[in-house]
Chain A
Amino acid sequence: MASTHELIAGVFRQESGRILAGLIRFAGSFDRAEEAMQEGFAAALARWPGGGLPDNPAAWITRVAQRKLVDAARRERVHRDMEAELQRELEPAAFVPAVLAHETVGWPMPPEEGFPDERLRLLFTCCHPALEASARVALTLRTLGGLTTPEIARAFLLPEPTLAQRLVRAKRKIEQARIPYEVPGRAALAERLASVQSVLYLIFNEGYSTTAGDSLVRRELCQEAIRLARMLAQLLPEEGENWGLLALMLLHDSRRDTRISPQGEPRGELVPLEEQDRSRWDQAAIAEGLELVERALRLPGVGPQRLQAAIAALHAQAATPEATDWAQIAALYARLAELVPSAVVRLNHAVAVAMSAGLAPGLALMDGLGADGSLDGYHLYHAARADLLRRLGRAVPAAAAYRQALALTSNAVERRYLRRRLAEVEPG
């Protein structure tokens, strides 16, 4: 039997994002809302152990927090009235009317059966393009992910004061420049949604790809990103890209246990897709991912999330590396390159061509990409070229390319992989 404290901790994990989102909209301020939510949870810790949990714990905490906000607003109003006209245009004008306006229509008591879900609005605020990119990630994790500042700092290997400062600056800009709590209108939705999706993918990728730091924290980041992507898809279900993003994360995540070799963990070796033990892929995650890809592709439009999810689905469906439908993957990468003209996408396209149409045409395509020298400083270009040269049996140029790749990356796991390959092609 879980203790009341554990139950309250559970409510915090599950519901704090939703409670906070509602309070931020109510108060018009992140800081006041966070403070009020803390008071709400403190009240729960004091009251619930005796009387048991209320039917709707999140609504209970919200009500307590709102009462605190209204009390504070009333006090400020009294104070304001004393300075009446001097204060006419002064802060915190944006804060007080929002709260007191609710009061006049029957607030602060929200209906017992529940309270509105404001998380989608808040997600768009946290991922607003007017905020610095790294602040979007941190703010999303802090407000909707329920992660603490030290947890986020640890996950991103940043000093805690740096991260705290970043959060303060972002929150201040939201309030001072009045970045709205709104789901953008039709005209801006596609672009703003892409910004939200890229923030969620960054969170996932930080957990999935980075190899430094605590592996438990990284695992938590992936789970958090999946949870947020699921929330986004459920709140805006008509957007195919949302389901595509969730499917993409699930399909990548299904391979989490096989992509780093178990020897010497947590600093194991990167295991390439073709060498992974497919029997250990998470079949439940794959099944859900495949179903969601189907669903995403039935919705109107096409976009980078869905195309990448479709590629991940083809890999997940192949029982052996040889059974991979590389021709289809090459076609999907070609389409993706039209939408996202990035070097990684074009390199992956060349690899897929090499695996389907032949190593030589694939290598020719790759050499064409690098002909202008623009990829010379990019380690993945040399690593991908080296792999094709190795498969073609051209050991000497393969070794040279592996060495170039090694010179350009400091990632320990990637270096170990490259060194192992280099040893294979170097005459021993």
Chain B
Amino acid sequence: MRYMFLIYSQEVPEPLPAEEDRAIRQGHRAAMEETSRRGIFRGAEPLHPTSTATTLRHQDGRVVITDGPFAETKEQLAGYYILDCQDLDEALEWAARIPTACAGRSGCVEVRPIQAMKPVADGIHA
């Protein structure tokens, strides 16, 4: 079962101190290397901060575009992992090893199972 790990962190305006930044990068590298070695790594990417986000809504049959994330919350989506785990317990073990402070000082990881989808065309699989 593939699980998506959504990393939510607090965004801080100033860059992190070099040492903290290094520790976070090392944490991610360790998690990616270890899961790759075990053959369960399916992808991981960081996002730019929500100051770069654009949100599109359908309202009364019109498309409305606004600047910013879909909701102003204390913690914002900062990146994701996709790992192929046996079950939720294994997924939660990995979740504990993913740094959550990639763009801020505190945060959390939401773990969601990915729904399998029918392939939409030859050679394209969800």
Contacts and interface: CB of A to CB of B under 8 A. Distances in A.
A176 B116 contact: no
Contact of B89 (A91, A176, A180): A180
Interface string B112-124: 1100111100000
Interface in B86-121: 86-89, 92-93, 111-113, 116-119
B1 interface: yes
Interface in A362-399: none
Contacts of B118: 86, 90
Contacts of B117: 89
Contact of A130 (B1, B86, B88, B126): B88
Contacts of B1: 94, 178
B113 A180 contact: no
B87 A176 contact: no
Nearest to B115: A176
Nearest to A184: B89
A90 B118 CA distance: 8
A89 B114 CA distance: 11
Contacts of B116: 89-91, 93
Nearest to A175: B113
A155 B113 CA distance: 34
Nearest to A87: B118
Contacts of A128: 88
A182 interface: yes
B4 to A, nearest CB: 11
A177 B113 contact: yes
Say what secondary structure dominates the interface of chain A.
loop
Question: Interface size class for chain B?
Answer: 10 to 19
Interface in A80-135: 86, 89-91, 93-94, 128, 130
A188 interface: yes
A359 interface: no
A179 B92 CA distance: 10
Contacts of A94: 1
Contacts of B125: 89
Nearest to B89: A180
Nearest to A192: B89
A90 B117 CA distance: 7
A271 B117 CA distance: 61
A180 B87 contact: yes
Contacts of A89: 116-117, 125-126
A16 B119 CA distance: 42
Say what secondary structure dominates the interface of chain B.
loop
B120 to A, nearest CB: 11
Contacts of A188: 89, 93
A3 B113 CA distance: 49
Contacts of B126: 89
A94 B87 CA distance: 11
A182 B119 CA distance: 32
Contacts of B88: 128, 130, 177-180
Contacts of B93: 188
Given A86-B118, A90-B116, A178 B92 contact: no
Nearest to A182: B89
A92 to B, nearest CB: 11
B5 to A, nearest CB: 13
Contacts of A182: 87, 89
Nearest to A89: B116
B92 A130 contact: yes
A188 B92 CA distance: 11
Residue from B88, B111, B125 with most neighbouring chain A CB atoms (10 Å): B88
A93 B117 CA distance: 13
A188 B117 CA distance: 33
A178 B113 CA distance: 8
Contacts of B86: 178, 180
A130 B93 CA distance: 13
A177 B86 CA distance: 11
A328 to B, nearest CB: 40
B121 to A, nearest CB: 12
A180 B87 CA distance: 6
Contacts of B87: 178-180, 182
Residue from A128, A177, A179, A188 with most neighbouring chain B CB atoms (10 Å): A177
Contacts of B112: 177
Closest CB pairs A-B (n = 9): A180-B87, A89-B116, A178-B87, A179-B88, A177-B113, A177-B88, A178-B1, A180-B89, A178-B88
20 contacts: A86-B119, A89-B116, A89-B117, A89-B125, A89-B126, A90-B118, A91-B116, A93-B116, A128-B88, A130-B88, A177-B88, A177-B111, A177-B112, A178-B1, A178-B88, A179-B88, A179-B89, A180-B88, A180-B89, A184-B89
Interface of A: 86, 89-91, 93-94, 128, 130, 176-180, 182, 184, 188
